[in-house]
Structure 1
Amino acid sequence: MIAETNIDPKAELRKEFQLHLLRTGETPVTVYAFCEQLGKEESEFYQHYGSFKAIEKDIWKALFKQVEGILNQDENYAHYSSYEKWLSFLYTFIEVLKENRSYVMLRCEHLERKEFRPWFMEGMRSLFKDFIKEVIGAGLETEEIASRPIITDRYHEVLWAQILYVIRVWINDESEDFQVTDAAVEKTSVLLFELMKKGPIDMLVDFVKFAYQHKAY
């Protein structure tokens, strides 16, 4: 389960809801039935959440915040390159998912490949955008990442797609200590950051612009 200390009412509801899903494989029939199991009044639930979907969105936000907390405790993290920060995030994210594997598999097992914005990751996606904006911004400043018209504003979408891909690989990974997932993280990260670097494509674009502007043809 999600590691949380000093359990507050919202955290307790998340934990109990997660346990119910793991035990039954289904969402509680009603909020009333769920609260009755917990020995709580239905009104207590609505003080914190408007629906079961709201709880699930919060579960994924909590997972993300747990990853951020671990990264922030690493004194060396702030000095990493953008690529190293991204790798650290992905590997830490997988470690946090391992602690919640049964739940993640239950929720993501039938996630369609074309599903780019799962409803239950809505809150997590918002937190991710803030997080990755800083990582990409630092890379642009050091020129580790190339600034490109229009494309630069879409880098975060590509990295979000990588997260979904890695989750799918991990769900189906039956290798020892999830070695296939580790390989997927490394190979996709290397590829994407190579593509985000300044390279042959940029030189070709620069040449075409030069040729057009100076009639050098």
Structure 2
Amino acid sequence: WYMHSVLENGNEPKTVYAFCKDHGLEESEFYAYFGSFEGLRQNIWLAFFDNARQVLQQEPSYATYAPKNKLLSLYFTLFEILTLNRSYILYSLKDSREGMKNLHDMKSFRRSFKEFVGSISQTQDAVSERIAKIKKPVYAEGAWVQFLFILKFWMDDNSPAFEKTDIVIEKSVNTVVDLFDTKPLENLFDLGKFLWKERSR
């Protein structure tokens, strides 16, 4: 109801009272779940992530994937869900398009995202416990910054079926995994070349 309301009217209801009245709800029903519209907005973003996580966990072979493929699967699944809700995403982030700032609505999403990605990094073999403790938060934070970069690209992507976003996901995941594994920077150059070409168009 909230998502439909803001998309149809172009703005948030002035008050919880007005929102509940328009949808035949008692205010107490709203406040039983959310303390404010801010809490509701955060819950919507969290639901996007929870849906993606459920899809992955229901895939029998997901547990056997290498970390890179787990990250790829997470991004592709997330962006499939975000694409189904693209109008709301663009509305939600309309004030953040330039610099991806003011992402307060994504606070709970970010926490769950980083926890999930941290669990992916823990599956890597042949890493000492001491290195793993350092690597996990760095890996999770790096993946979050990477996600925001891809999200911004997707918001501006006008290609059919957002096929250019798919390319960016593959190239950027290859890059970040290689950097954490201290492999050659070949994929970083490949990603940079693709983005430069897109900027030049």
Class of the TM-score when normalised by the shorter of the 2 chains: 0.7 to 0.9
Q: 1:172 pairs with 125, 146, 156, which one?
A: 156
CA distance in 1, matches of 2:82, 2:115: 21
Unaligned runs of 5+ in 2: 186-201
- TM-score in terms of structure 1 length: 0.78
Aligned to 2:11: 26
Aligned to 2:188: none
1:154-169 matches, within 5 Å, as 154-169=138-153
Aligned residue-pair number: 182
CA distance in 2, matches of 1:148, 1:74: 27
Aligned to 1:100: 85
1:69-108 matches, within 5 Å, as 69-108=54-93
CA distance in 1, matches of 2:132, 2:24: 56
Shift of 1:142: 4.5
CA distance in 2, matches of 1:127, 1:172: 25
Aligned to 1:197: 181
Letter in 1 for 2:167: A
Aligned to 1:215: none
1:1-217 matches, within 5 Å, as 16-111=1-96, 112-113=98-99, 115=101, 118-139=103-124, 141-143=125-127, 147=131, 150=134, 152-199=136-183
CA distance in 1, matches of 2:133, 2:78: 30
CA distance in 2, matches of 1:157, 1:130: 10
> Which runs of at least 4 in structure 1 moved beyond 6 Å after TM superposition?
none
Q: Deviations over 1:23-46 (max 9, x none)?
A: 111110111100000112222211
Q: Percent identity?
A: 33
CA distance in 1, matches of 2:84, 2:155: 13
How large is the Cα RMSD of the aligned pairs? 2.1
Aligned to 1:214: none
